[in-house]
């Protein structure tokens, strides 16, 4: 074996000793507009302490890159839990869920974190940043990791996780001073890089605010989103009802005979909430005539709409469905994105004038001819389908943009009921490693795109950036305008999706940039035991993605 290797970095090739760390590559820290936080080595995200053992292509990852933002978020929460460890040794923090540009956190014993405590934690974090302490990775086997975390009070979550860790998979912990913690992704190499954050009290917990995703990476102020927050809180209650809040506790259920009842209860919680929403619509005064259902990609809007329609029929209302997809403008009128590609996620890709005209006509008792968009021809074609609403009928319009204020803008407010659907993941890897809701949706979409559209995982991963950009512009800004939010995530779903997604992700070539996301998602799924879909009912929202649904799409 040669004692030197070739490293390709920023258009240059360097000969360096085998085992050289990424951060020690000649010129690695030169000429970056923002400091490197991690690196891609052969399209795989690694710590800057990663030793290079073979010839490699290396790319520095800064806050400008989505992976850089992920590394920064997890590093800041590591810094926060370290500060809590120093100030309040008996207090354990749960890193729970996103809240705007930040992460909501609570005490594990449900005690209130007072504004004074939040200020002390923030000040301690600033002191750690000023000290510029090294954050060092250490690879362990699962038995050693279990033993180490079992000696820390209130860290049963980590012990449960490592007890059923995949065989031969190493556990990476990170040390800073006398503190250590597990992280599912690399952390920054030193605390001095984490100078952009803020802590804001949000009783009973607090929000860790993170920098924006574009330069100059300023930390934005916290704007209340009460509907989103209450939806997350409801999901947390569901998790407590099920007794599963992290990967380790779900794995324990999967490995026992209790999984059948567990799935039934999880699905019953969904059904109960959908029935409650149907009751609200049915008993509204004045009567609701139009239901708008919106949500981001792979949120399960279509199955939700069908299940809501069933509950409305139980309440003696006759729902009629109308799809936004049939109101696309002709292809040559479709706006283009920054890369010159057709932007089907833009609100301007819809014929809003015709849509609003039809909505007004239907709600006033007139008849319309329902349009039909031919994706093959790239234009609307005659459908021959006539539609008129009867007195006891209610119109359901479902699509990405259904909550946009330009839709149904002239319909009296009392006649419209708006629903926002999203997969707000309520399960965590452990107390300090959360699961991104967008990653859950991405895994759903990878599986669905392969089963129903013939796309490879690489193709779906490549498109995801544009999908997310459209959501940020046209969907998320209007979620608080909904009358109600529905969380379509199921506590057990990643264990089922794992069965389908892992083979697809493993086929992504290491030579393409999408490999980094494939490896990251595979690492996420590795925390879960597989759950085969036999117990998933045919009406489950999950069936929209894995197949076998009793609904027609």
Query: Is 553 part of a structural domain of the chain?
Result: no
Which domain range does residue 118 map to? 67-209
436, 497: one domain: yes
Q: Judge whether 505 lies within some domain.
A: yes
Claim to verify: residue 188 and residue 231 sit in the same structural domain: no
Q: Indicate the range of 378-387, 501-510, 517-526 predicted with least confidence.
A: 378-387
Domain count, the chain: 3
Residue 384 lies in a domain: yes
Residue 196 pLDDT greater than 90, yes or no? yes
Q: What is the pLDDT of residue 169?
A: 79
Between CA 528 and CA 165 the distance in angstroms is 8
Residue-level pLDDT at 404: 94
Q: What percent of the chain has pLDDT over 70?
A: 99
For residue range 416-449, what is the model confidence (pLDDT) as tens digits?
Answer: 999 999 999 989 999 999 999 999 999 999 999 9
Q: Please give the pLDDT value at position 167.
A: 67
158 by DSSP, 3-state: which?
helix
182 with 135, same domain: the answer is yes
pLDDT of residue 246: 95
Q: Does the pLDDT of residue 1 top 60, yes or no?
A: no
Predicted pLDDT of residue 186: 98
Same domain as 476, residue 500: yes
Residue 343 to residue 500: CA distance in whole angstroms:
29
CA-based torsion, 296, 66, 97, 199: positive or negative:
negative
* 549: CB partners within 8 A, 6+ apart: 303, 538, 539, 540, 543
> Mean pLDDT, to the nearest integer, of 327-340?
87
What local confidence, expressed as pLDDT, does residue 403 receive? 95
HEC per residue, 118-135: HHHHHHHHHHHHHHCCEC
- Could you tell me if 153 and 247 lie in one domain? no
Same domain, 491 and 388: yes
Looking at residues 438-461, what average pLDDT do you find?
A: 97
The answer, yes or no, to whether residue 122 has pLDDT greater than 70, is yes
Q: Is residue 218 part of a domain?
A: no
Same domain for 330 and 269, yes or no, is yes
Q: Which range has the worst mean pLDDT, 214-218, 368-372, 546-550? A: 214-218
The last residue of one of the domains, among 62, 90, 105, is 62
Residues 6+ apart with CB under 8 A from 440: 423, 425, 489, 493, 494
Shared domain check, 346 and 367: yes
Regarding whether 461 and 366 lie in a shared domain, the answer is yes
Q: Is residue 32 a contact partner of residue 23, using CB atoms and an 8 Å limit?
A: no
Confidence tier at 480 by pLDDT (50, 70, 90): very high
Q: Looking up tokens 């859950």, which residue turns up?
A: 440
* Tokens linked to 553: 């799409």
For residues 165 and 252, the model is more confident at 252
Residue 216 within a domain: no
pLDDT at 313: 97
pLDDT of 240 reads: 82
Residue 277 lies in a domain: yes
| Confidence (pLDDT) at 215 | 85
**486-495: per-residue pLDDT in tens?**
999 999 999 9
Q: Quick one: average pLDDT of 64-69?
A: 94
Tokens describing residue 70: 């992920």
Is residue 217 domain-resident? no
In this structure, the answer to whether residues 402 and 518 fall within a common structural domain is yes
pLDDT band at 477 (very low <50, low <70, confident <90, very high): very high
Max avg pLDDT among 27-36, 179-188, 344-353: 179-188
pLDDT of residue 250: 95
User: Is 219 a domain residue?
Assistant: no
Q: Which residue has the higher pLDDT, 169 or 498?
A: 498
Q: Is the pLDDT of residue 338 over 80?
A: no
Q: Are residues 323 and 203 in the same domain?
A: no
Percent of the chain past pLDDT 90, that is, above it, reads 81
**Least confidently predicted of 249-253, 436-440, 473-477, 502-506:** 473-477
Interatomic CA distance for residues 124 and 446, integer angstroms:
42
Are residues 457 and 314 part of one domain?
A: yes
Rounded mean pLDDT, 111-127:
97
| Cα separation, 268 vs 271, whole angstroms | 5
What CATH number should be reported for the domain holding residue 88?
3.30.980.10
CB-CB contact of 434 with 81 (8 Å):
no
Q: Label residue 278 by pLDDT band (50, 70, 90).
A: very high
How high is the pLDDT of residue 235? 86
pLDDT at 485: 97
pLDDT tens per residue, range 201-228: 999 999 999 999 888 889 988 888 999 9
CATH code: domain of residue 52? 3.10.20.30
Q: What is the pTM of this model?
A: 0.94
């Amino acid at each position: 074996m040669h004692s030197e290797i070739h490293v390709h970095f920023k258009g240059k090739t360097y000969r360096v000793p085998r085992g050289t760390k990424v951060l020690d590559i000649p010129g690695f820290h030169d000429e970056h507009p923002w400091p490197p936080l991690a690196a891609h080595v052969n399209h795989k995200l690694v710590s800057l302490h990663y030793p290079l053992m073979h010839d490699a292509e290396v790319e520095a990852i800064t806050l400008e890159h989505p992976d850089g933002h992920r590394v920064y978020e997890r590093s800041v929460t590591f810094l926060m839990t370290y500060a809590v460890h120093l100030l309040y040794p008996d207090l354990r923090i749960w890193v729970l869920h996103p809240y705007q540009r930040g992460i909501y956190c609570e005490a594990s014993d449900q005690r209130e974190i007072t504004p004074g405590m939040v200020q002390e934690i923030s000040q301690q974090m600033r002191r750690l940043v000023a000290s510029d302490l090294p954050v060092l990775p250490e690879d362990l086997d699962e038995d050693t990791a279990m033993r180490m975390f079992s000696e820390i009070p209130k860290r049963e979550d980590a012990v449960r996780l490592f007890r059923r860790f995949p065989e031969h998979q190493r556990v990476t912990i990170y040390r800073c001073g006398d503190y250590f913690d597990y992280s599912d992704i690399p952390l920054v190499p030193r605390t001095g890089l984490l100078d952009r954050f803020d802590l804001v009290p949000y009783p009973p917990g607090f929000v860790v605010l993170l920098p924006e995703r574009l330069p100059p990476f300023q930390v934005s102020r916290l704007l209340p989103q009460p509907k989103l927050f209450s939806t997350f809180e409801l999901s947390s209650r569901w998790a407590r009802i099920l007794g599963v809040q992290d990967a380790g506790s779900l794995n324990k259920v999967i490995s026992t005979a209790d999984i059948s009842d567990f799935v039934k209860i999880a699905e019953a919680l969904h059904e109960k909430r959908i029935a409650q929403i149907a009751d609200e619509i049915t008993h509204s005064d004045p009567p609701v005539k139009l239901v708008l259902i919106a949500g981001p990609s792979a949120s399960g809007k279509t199955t939700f709409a069908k299940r809501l329609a069933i509950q409305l029929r139980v309440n003696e209302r006759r729902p009629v469905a109308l799809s936004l997809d049939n109101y696309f403008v002709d292809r040559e009128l479709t706006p283009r994105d920054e890369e010159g590609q057709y932007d089907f996620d833009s609100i301007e890709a819809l014929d809003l004038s015709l849509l609003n005209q039809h909505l007004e006509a239907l709600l006033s008792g007139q008849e319309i001819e329902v349009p039909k968009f031919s994706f093959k021809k790239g234009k609307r074609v005659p459908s021959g389908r006539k539609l008129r609403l009867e007195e006891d009928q209610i119109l359901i319009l479902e699509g990405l943009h259904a909550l946009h204020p330009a839709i149904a803008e002239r319909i009296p407010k009392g006649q419209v009921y708006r629903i926002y659907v999203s997969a707000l993941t309520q399960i965590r890897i452990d107390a300090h490693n959360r699961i991104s809701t967008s990653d859950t949706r991405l895994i759903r979409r990878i599986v669905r795109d392969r089963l129903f559209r013939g796309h490879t995982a690489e193709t779906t991963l490549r498109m995801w950036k544009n999908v997310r950009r459209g959501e940020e512009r046209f969907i998320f800004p209007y979620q608080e305008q909904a009358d109600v939010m529905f969380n379509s995530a199921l506590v057990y779903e990643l264990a089922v999706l794992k069965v389908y997604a892992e083979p697809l992700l493993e086929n992504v070539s290491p030579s393409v940039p999408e490999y980094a996301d494939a490896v990251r998602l595979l690492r996420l799924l590795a925390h879960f035991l597989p759950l085969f879909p036999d117990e998933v009912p045919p009406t489950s929202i999950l069936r929209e993605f894995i197949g076998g649904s009793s609904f027609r799409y």
